Amino acid sequence: MSSGRRELPGDPRVRELVRQARGVSRRRFLAGAAGTAGAGALLAACGTAGSTRAEDGGGGAGGPLRWANWTQYLDQDESGTSFPTLAAFEERSGIAVDYAEDVEDNDSFYGKVSRQLENGQDIGYDVVTLTDWMTARWIRQEYAAELDRSRIPNADNILPNLAAVDFDDGRRFSLTWQSGFAGIAWDTQAIPDGLRSVSDLWDPQYKGRVEVLSEMRDTIGLIMLENGTDPAGDWSTDDWFDALDVVQRHLDDGQIRQVRGNSYVQDLASGDAVACIAWSGDITSLNYEYDGRFAFAIPDAGGTLWSDNLMVPRASPRRAQAEELFDYYYDPQVAAEVAAWVNYITPVQGAQEAMASIDPELAEDPMIFPTEEILSQVRVFRTLTPAEEERYNGQFLTAIGA
């Protein structure tokens, strides 16, 4: 998914505003902040920032543009209290943005807003950031507004393999925010010899200190691969339930401590968990805060590749402002600023070249700009039919007690 060589089309004023906002990579921020704050304080600062809002409360349609995102998923300044690229967008556009880290996982967020979506009501957000399969559900159920691509010219910078997806033909309703890998992670202080497979998580010595993700496609997908089943292929119901049985067994015997969304990183940091199924960028970010204490690997049997997407809820009164935001974040320089902080795979062509001027080491980081060799080791969980999604997702949620 590495980006190709091309001339950067970005607005010079945008680049200057971002520089003025002091956008720095997470690596550089944490190196500078280490002398003034403990690691726990840094983690809290990176995970709890709530919103940024222009002083005049503008943004059109009676208020600010409201964006719901996952935690640690947008660049922050040295204090961990504001978002440099977002501040630059507000200054450039005059649009105020209310930014909230309100997505813990796809299912819980959907449960919070589904009744309003069904009734065609404003859900309190104008931009949401959700994973491919949930994005597909919103589009199928006609909960997402159709985008005016003429207002998002930078969307042409999207990587070719993300431009054509089966759930959104022509990218009429969504644009990729970031992509990443699911694999295994561990605390190197507790497990100095490391892990190679999902089966290693079930070693009795780690009982009660293992966590798996509440994202069904990542947890079940990795176990499917361990079982010799390709989650991207034409697998059977038996294959799926074989993987679910592994989760159920280890929940029942206490091997798995908890099934978590984004908050699993807090359990790793505290030592409550020593090994888990994890997302790549989270571990990279955690290591900047904890001096390389944690390791992440794609299991020998393979990992999963996922993407999160930007959408506008159908009843939002601020689609035009959201489209302006989308266009801004598809400028390669801005995309590189974000990737330097969040450490996930950027979807924007030209961002790798822009990254070289921000952090040359990150420009060669295969977790942000993966090589073909790495991409050959991961699979995208195939799109489920509505009936399959209802059945499998429901069974998974029942098994984990959600």
| pLDDT score of 61 | 57
Q: What is the predicted pLDDT for the residue at 104? A: 87
Q: Kindly state the DSSP code that residue 150 receives in the 8-state scheme.
A: G
Q: How many whole angstroms separate alpha carbon 361 and alpha carbon 80?
A: 22
80 pLDDT band (50/70/90 cuts)? confident
Q: Where are the domains of the chain?
A: 12-177+307-369, 180-305+379-400
**Measuring CA to CA, how many Å separate 95 from each of 16, 118, 326?**
18, 28, 13
Please give the residue that has the higher pLDDT: either 26 or 382.
382
pLDDT, mean of residues 282-305:
93
Helix (H) or strand (E) holding 87: helix 84-93
3-state DSSP assignment of residue 72: coil
**Token code pair at residue 154:** 């930078």
* Fold (CATH) for 180-305+379-400: D-Maltodextrin-Binding Protein; domain 2 (3.40.190)
Give CA angle at 72 (248, 327), nearest 5°.
Answer: 115
Give residue for tokens 């062509």: 349
Positive or negative, the Cα torsion across 84, 85, 91, 94?
negative
For residue 178, which amino acid is it? Q
Q: What is the distance between the alpha carbons of residues 83 and 70, in angstroms, rounded to a whole number?
A: 14
User: From CA 350, how far away is CA 339, in angstroms rounded?
Assistant: 12
**Residue 176 — φ and ψ, nearest 5°?**
-65, 135
Q: How confident is the model at residue 52 (pLDDT cuts 50, 70, 90)?
A: very low
Query: Does residue 341 have a pLDDT over 70?
Result: yes
- Asked if the domains at 12-177+307-369 and 180-305+379-400 fall in one CATH topology, the answer is yes
Instruction: Name the CATH architecture for the domain at 12-177+307-369.
Output: 3-Layer(aba) Sandwich (3.40)
Closest CA to 278 of 227, 335, 338, 210: 210
Write out pLDDT tens, residues 278-293.
999 889 889 988 999 9
Nearest one of 359, 352, 354, 360 to 159, comparing CA atoms: 352
Q: Hey, which residues does 130 pair with through a beta bridge?
A: 309
pTM of the predicted model over 0.85 = no
Confidence band, pLDDT 50/70/90 cuts, at residue 41: very low
Q: What secondary structure letter does DSSP report for 366?
A: T
Nearest to 162 by CA among 319, 356, 323, 349: 349
Contact 185, 278 (CB under 8 A): yes
